């Protein structure tokens, strides 16, 4: 049985890129009965930048509702809110006292964020230490992450090894599971889809608003009657990731045969999203209207997570000499 852990920052409603690139693959991993999965909402990491309490709270609900609507089984696995298990802050402190300053100063993600943001706080600087605490607090064995997080995982492994060198057998050293296939979903402007580029498709929106997002996908100006190249078209690039083989072949020939405009393709993409994700869209809205249901699931997860966290933290305290 492998213990798999990963965190998801709650920075808004998860978009199609988050779903196809991270959430659905992680849920698939959790279906293997050989795995025990701990997935949590990293709302303390979100606090490095979010300052509006309602936004912070609502982002957590929207993120949780997305996972739940795609069928994440919270009875068989552990799904929790990072801020519910404050033991992580105690462990982060012990790890802070083990972290060489240059290790954090050289972090790519810190350099990138501190270049972009007007105000840079110490939480942003020690972000990787909290992340290490997230992982080590649960004796995680495997941590699936995207390429952008691999340096944070190296920091976690370095800290755990340095700690174990002095305080023997304290931490389980986690393995990185780098998502090599890492599907990149294109946004409405043709760049990588991201909340920060304002080019995302939110499949949970009411139909009218979803249509507006899909209609805003950038296309070229080849006339309706002409043949078009599906592979270079932003609409087709998105359609391709969710359509089945028949639907795909049909759209391909429509593009090539001509007399098929981008408006037609966009309408088909909209229809496909509405039918393929019909159940999830309904469930997302139901959960967002009944946040107590989300709270119940997260509470159950926190109880399970806390029992692991307490025993690991006890081991750390005792090894340190407290």
Q: Is 22 in the site for ligand ADP (CB under 6 A)?
A: yes
Measured in whole angstroms, the distance separating CA 231 from the mean position of its chain's CA atoms is 27
| Residue 18 interacting partner from ligand ADP, ligand TRP, none (CB closer than 5 to 8 Å by kind) | ligand ADP
Q: Comparing C-alpha atoms, which of 42, 31, 33 is closest to residue 73?
A: 31
How many Cα atoms are found within 13 Å in the side-chain-facing hemisphere of 88? 27
Tell me: does residue 74 bind ligand TRP (CB under 6 A). no
Q: Is residue 40 within 8 Å of 7, Cβ to Cβ?
A: yes
Residue 37, SS3? strand
> Which of the residues 173 through 192 are near ligand TRP (CB under 6 A)?
none
Spell out the residues 6+ positions from residue 236 whose beta carbon is closer than 8 angstroms to its own.
230, 251, 252, 255, 265
Choose, by CB under 6 A, the member of 69, 149, 234, 254 that binds ligand TRP: 149
User: Among 42, 39, 67, 43, which residue's Cα sits nearest to residue 140?
Assistant: 39
Q: Does the footprint of ligand ADP cover residue 194 (CB under 6 A)? A: yes
Say whether residue 12 binds ligand TRP (CB under 6 A).
no
Contact by Cβ (8 Å): 170, 315: yes
Q: Which is nearer to ligand ADP, 170 or 202 (CB)?
A: 202
The phi and psi torsions of 217 (rounded to 5 degrees) equal -60, 130
Task: Please state, in angstroms and rounded to a whole number, the distance separating the CA atoms of residues 137 and 91.
Answer: 7
If one asks whether residue 26 binds ligand TRP (CB under 6 A), the answer comes out as: no
The reply to whether 45 sits near ligand TRP by the rule CB under 6 A is: yes
Q: Return the beta strands (E) in 31-172 as ranges.
A: 35-41, 78-81, 142-145
Judged by CB under 6 A, does residue 185 bind ligand ADP? yes
Q: Does 308 bind ligand TRP (CB under 6 A)?
A: no
Question: Using CB under 6 A, which of 13, 19, 42, 313 touches ligand TRP?
Answer: 42
**Does 131 engage in binding with ligand TRP (CB under 6 A)?**
yes
In this chain, which of 71, 100, 146, 263 binds ligand ADP, going by CB under 6 A?
146
Spell out where 216-285 has E strands: none
Tokens of 51: 């300052």
Rounded to a whole number of angstroms, the minimum distance from the CB of residue 134 to ligand TRP is 4
H/E stretch holding 57 reads helix 53-69
Stretches 15-23, 74-82, 155-163, 250-258: which one binds ligand ADP (CB under 6 A)?
15-23
The strand order across the sheet containing 175-178 reads: 78-81, 35-41, 2-8, 142-145, 175-178
- Quick one: 96 or 247, whose CB is closer to ligand TRP? 96
281 binds ligand TRP (CB under 6 A): no
The CA distance from 276 to 299, in Å, is: 30
Is position 195 an interface residue for ligand ADP (rule: CB under 6 A)? yes
Among all residues, whose Cβ is closest to ligand ADP?
21
Size of residue set near ligand ADP by CB under 6 A: 15
Give CA–CA dist 203/206, Å, rounded.
8
Selected from 51, 122, 169, 196, the binder of ligand ADP by CB under 6 A is 196
> Could you tell which of ligand ADP, ligand TRP, none binds residue 42, using a CB distance below 5 to 8 A set by kind?
ligand TRP
In the list ligand TRP, ligand ADP, none, the entry touching 281 (Cβ below 5 to 8 angstroms by class) is: none
178, 184, 205, 248: which one contacts ligand ADP (CB under 6 A)? Answer: 184
End-to-end CA distance of the chain: 32
The residues binding ligand TRP (CB under 6 A) are 6-7, 9, 42, 45, 131, 134-135, 143, 145, 149
The residues binding ligand ADP (CB under 6 A) are 9, 11, 17-18, 21-22, 146, 183-185, 192-196
């Amino acid at each position: 049985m492998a213990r798999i852990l990963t965190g998801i920052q709650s920075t808004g409603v998860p978009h199609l890129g988050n779903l196809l690139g991270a959430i659905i693959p992680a849920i698939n991993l959790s279906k293997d009965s050989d795995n025990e999965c701990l997935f949590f909402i990293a709302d303390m990491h979100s606090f490095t930048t979010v300052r509006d309490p309602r936004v912070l709270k609502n982002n957590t609900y929207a993120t949780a509702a997305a996972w739940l609507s795609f069928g994440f089984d919270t009875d068989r696995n552990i799904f929790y809110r990072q801020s519910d298990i404050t033991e992580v802050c105690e462990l982060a402190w012990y790890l802070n006292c083990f972290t060489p300053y240059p290790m954090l100063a050289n972090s790519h993600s810190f350099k990138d964020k501190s270049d972009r943001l007007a105000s840079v706080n110490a939480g942003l600087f020690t972000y990787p230490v909290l992340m290490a605490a997230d992982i080590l607090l649960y004796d995680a064995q495997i941590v699936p992450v995207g390429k952008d997080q691999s340096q944070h995982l190296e920091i976690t492994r370095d800290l755990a090894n340095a700690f174990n060198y002095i305080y023997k057998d304290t931490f389980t050293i986690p393995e990185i599971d780098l998502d090599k296939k890492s599907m990149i979903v294109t946004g409405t402007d043709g760049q990588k889809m991201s909340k920060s580029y304002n080019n995302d498709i939110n499949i949970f929106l009411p139909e009218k608003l979803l249509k507006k997002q899909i209609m805003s996908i950038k296309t070229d100006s080849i006339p309706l009657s002409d043949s078009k190249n599906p592979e270079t078209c932003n609409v087709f690039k998105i359609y391709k990731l969710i359509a089945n083989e028949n639907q795909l072949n049909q759209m391909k020939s429509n593009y090539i045969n001509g007399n098929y405009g981008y408006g037609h393709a966009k309408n088909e993409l909209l229809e496909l999203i509405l039918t393929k994700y019909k159940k999830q869209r309904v469930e997302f809205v139901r959960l967002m209207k009944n946040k107590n249901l989300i709270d119940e699931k997260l509470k159950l997860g926190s109880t399970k997570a806390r029992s692991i966290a307490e025993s690991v933290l006890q081991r750390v305290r005792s090894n340190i000499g407290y």
